[in-house]
Amino acid sequence: MGIIDRNVMMGRASYLNLIVFFGSLVTAVLCLSICAHGYDELKPSYTKENSLSTIGCIFPLSGRYTDLGKRALRGVLTATDVFDTDGFRIVVSDIGEGNVTKLQGALEEMVLKDGVLVVFGPIPSGYISMLDTTLKSLQVPTIIFPLSEEVSVKNPYIIRFSYPVEKQASALAHYAVHDVKVRTFGVLYPRTSIGEYLKDAFVESVKIEGGSVTYTGSYDLDLSNIAYELEWVKTLKPEALFIPDVATRSAAIISKLKEQIRAESFLFLGLSTWHSKRFIDSVGDAIDGIVLKVVFTDFFSPDSLRWLSFVSRFKTLFDEEPGSLEYQIYEGVRLIINIVEANQLHRREDLIKRLLALGEDFLFKVERKADDGVYIYPRPFILTLKNGQVISIK
């Protein structure tokens, strides 16, 4: 069944019908393919009242980012199932490879024809720069999920929902200095632009917290020069070593250090990329029993009730294990629906006002920054490994 490149309206009944299809391999694609009639037949007559229960999703359900789009859509559908609201609708648009014309057209159609209250996407978040002018013209709140705060778009209608790498570096530095009493740090990072950026972010965070960085070194992605850098680590002996890399390479570096020195003498620090089965499988047994020696951070803990509830709902709907992206989308959609329903919002601008009113909420921190954008930060967790399992320590 091919992809139909148009929007799909999904009420409660049609959403439940979708669950049957989502058990197949092409789950999210089928979501777009269930339309048997023309678009105009499916689109209801919108009024100011009922448009408030409609959200838009701009996801890639074809092309090279198809997997991201499918996962994001599943997060949305899991979140909307939490709220048993018969009149709630989802408008989904496949943006494919994300060219400017398609992105702008999808957004304009959602706002002008479907009357959406809020838009989720685009994914990847870097596409948002193509929508800057259109967003300002349409004045619709648009929620993105960036990995970093380095999204160079100054726009009051962009809402960033994420635990960005800058915040992760700051949380790790704060925990290491104030809770573990670490004073000297090393940074061993991949020789890439993002690696350099993460190194700088962590060094700055350590300085702010009162610690000292005594070593920085970089390595090639194939780890061909890692032995040279590990010699420096062994010589300078920082109390903590920050490795801002993907799970497999980080685990390989830790394992190499353990072969050469007493690895338990180091506190290894990592980003949310370490919160993965690959990292646990690679390094779990090697660090087993050395609590607080491998520390990483994420916006959820595997033993938290919110995560467990989400996993249960997700597996009921899709019969699969979810990932962190699905959960991030789920939490973002759930927060917005909560605000809309609790406050009976009638205007798009009221959504941003109600978000900012949350301030220092128990689960989220919401603030408007100098770039006029709204930032939503989930409360961070500090995690470690014990007996080959991830546990929360803060």
What pLDDT, on the 0 to 100 scale, is given for residue 11?
A: 43
pLDDT score at 103: 93
Give the residue from 190, 385, 178 showing the smallest Cα distance to 281. 385
Task: Assess whether 34 and 135 both reside in one domain.
Answer: yes
pLDDT above 90 (res 195): yes
Q: Are residues 67 and 119 in the same domain?
A: yes
**What average pLDDT does the structure give for the chain?**
82
Q: How far is CA 45 from CA 107, 329, 345, in A?
A: 18, 28, 20
Dihedral-angle region of residue 54 (phi above 0 means left; psi in -120 to 50 means alpha; beta otherwise)? beta
pLDDT at 14 over 80: no
Cβ-based neighbours of 388, under 8 Å, separated by 6 or more? 280, 284, 285, 288
SS3 category, 231: helix
Report pLDDT for 23. 33
Q: Is 262 inside a domain boundary?
A: yes
Write out pLDDT tens, residues 331-349. Answer: 999 999 889 888 887 788 8
Looking up residue 354, the CATH number of its domain turns out to be: 3.40.50.2300
Same domain, 273 and 335: no
Host domain of residue 231: 166-298
- pLDDT confidence of residue 122: 94
- The tens digit of pLDDT for each residue in 275-305 reads 998 888 887 665 654 545 889 999 999 989 9
Give the single-character DSSP code of 228: H
Q: What is the pTM of this model?
A: 0.83
Contacts of residue 133, defined as CB under 8 A and 6 or more positions apart, other chains included, come to: none
Quote the pLDDT of residue 151: 65
Q: Are residues 157 and 26 in the same domain?
A: yes
Mean pLDDT, residues 186-209: 96
CB 186 within 8 A of CB 213: yes
Task: Find the range with the poorest average confidence among 141-150, 254-263, 346-355, 362-371.
Answer: 254-263
**3 state SS of 90:** strand
Confidence (pLDDT) at 345: 79
- Note whether 132 and 186 are same-domain residues: no
- Which single residue is written with the structure tokens 């408008």? 91
Residue 188 lies in a domain: yes
Could you tell me the maximum CA-CA distance found in the chain, to the nearest angstrom? 71
pLDDT of residue 143 exceeding 80, the answer is yes
Residue 327 or residue 24, greater confidence: 327
Exposure string of 88-119, with b = 16+ CB inside 10 Å and e = fewer, is bbbbbbbbbebeeebbbebbebbbeebbbbbb
pLDDT in tens, 74-126: 999 999 876 555 556 899 999 998 889 999 999 999 999 999 999 999 999 98
Residue 8 CA: distances (Å) to CA of 55, 247, 265: 11, 37, 56
Could you tell me if 235 and 202 lie in one domain? yes
The sheet with strand 89-94 has its strands ordered as 8-10, 89-94, 54-59, 118-120, 142-144, 158-161, 374-378, 364-368
Model pLDDT, residue 25: 28
The pLDDT value given to residue 138: 95
**How many distinct structural domains can be found in the chain?**
2
**Residues 331 and 234 both lie in one domain:** no
- pLDDT top residue among 282 and 187: 187
Q: Do residues 87 and 52 make contact, with C-beta atoms less than 8 angstroms apart? A: no
Amino acid identity of 392?
S
